[in-house]
Chain A
Amino acid sequence: MNEFIVILGWLGLYGSMALGAIGSIIGCALAGQAAIGAMLETEGGYGRYIGVSVMPSSQVIYGIVIMFTLQREITAVNGSAIFAIGFLAGLVLLFSAILQGKTCASAINAAKAKPEIFGLSIAPAAIVEGFSVFAFVFALVIAGGIPSGV
């Protein structure tokens, strides 16, 4: 049983970063495709399309920071706590990155047709980012209460 909890601890430790990375890959790919499509149709403003398309990359950074915060000797005492925080934060980062990618793609598509709404169109993506920041910050706060390995 103790070994199983230790395995879970390792899953949680690396999971926050891995799930965040998967989300960022999918989110950036979605928004990037929209940016490429918009560049085919428009004559300028390419930089801002690419700029918006990399917004979902922040989730992997949050994942890395959570991983380093959780890093300690994993034992049967703290394994389950590390798993719970790392895995759940990772899930939040995964979904927020994918859905942020979708909102970024929609923003690029809309701003291509109506450049004057560019600023407003990225507001939904910023709000999605806000939720992943909540998960990130509170993962750090909760991680402070995890008992040491002994």
Chain B
Amino acid sequence: MMIDPYVTLISSLPPHTPQLFATRQTPISRIKLNERLQMLTPEHTQDLALIENLVHWDRIAISTTDEEMVRRAEETMSSLRNQFIKDIIIWRLEERTAVAALRRKYLGFDVPKSGMRWGYGQWVGHIERHWHEPTFALEKILPWLEEARQLLNEKNHLGLERLLLSLVWEYYGRVVAGHYFDFEAVVVYVLRWDVIDRWSRYNNRLAKQRLERMVDSGLGEFNAIFA
């Protein structure tokens, strides 16, 4: 009987904080999370792996080309059966496509050649047709695009990262309403975990860089002592 199949699983997971940037660490370690996720059925485990492989940056090699990503997205979409999950993934990929277009333009690339597979979703053709407009005539549909463009032009990469992560965080919070103990709730929990994980790692990297700078400046003249 499939009345709320994941009551135990969801109840065993600590809640996410309402404010993404108020937290400095994930509410549960990945090892523990993976242990709890063993309660998923084999089909759902497979679906979740597909979703994370497509969406979580840490699962995507830097050498992965745009074309490979689009192909992977298409394969994942054809494998997934749950429309709610598909909609979430499509939203995320379309958001990334819009940001990718902004970055391409910022780096001085011209409009992608016809037939080139550089993005995914409904906005690809629209962006190509409106390439020379600042936000590809999408500002009414994607109102955050103008702010993202400004942050990119100001080279405020941290600000841009915060904007994009907060967009994703709020989107997940909106769509999960009405899902309490089902697979959809589990997927959104894990995707939100990935967002916190990315943000906390981002902070760690900054902290490490800062520490290295401080150590270097502190060592000063002693830098070459063993040279």
- Tell me the A residues contacting B by CB distance below 8 Å: 26, 30, 33-38, 40-41, 98, 102, 105-106, 108-109, 112-113
Contact = CB atoms under 8 A, between A and B. Distances in A.
Nearest to B5: A33
A35 B7 CA distance: 9
A112 to B, nearest CB: 7
A37 B8 contact: yes
Contact of B12 (A26, A41, A105): A41
Interface of B: 1, 3-4, 7-15, 36, 180-181
A102 B11 CA distance: 12
A37 B189 CA distance: 15
A108 B14 CA distance: 12
B7 A105 contact: yes
Contact of B15 (A26, A30, A36, A113): A113
Nearest to A36: B8
A98 B9 CA distance: 19
A136 B185 CA distance: 35
A98 B11 contact: no
B3 A37 contact: no
A93 B162 CA distance: 50
Determine chain B's interface SS by DSSP, over half rule. loop
Contacts of B8: 33-34, 36-37, 40
Contact of B14 (A26, A35, A105, A113): A113
Given A33-B8, A105-B11, 5 more contacts: A30-B4, A33-B11, A37-B12, A40-B12, A109-B180
A37 B4 contact: no
Contacts of A113: 14-15
Given A105-B181, A106-B180, A30 B7 contact: yes
A106 B172 CA distance: 19
Contacts of B12: 36-38, 40-41
Nearest to B1: A26
A38 B8 CA distance: 8
Contact of B7 (A34, A40, A41, A112): A34
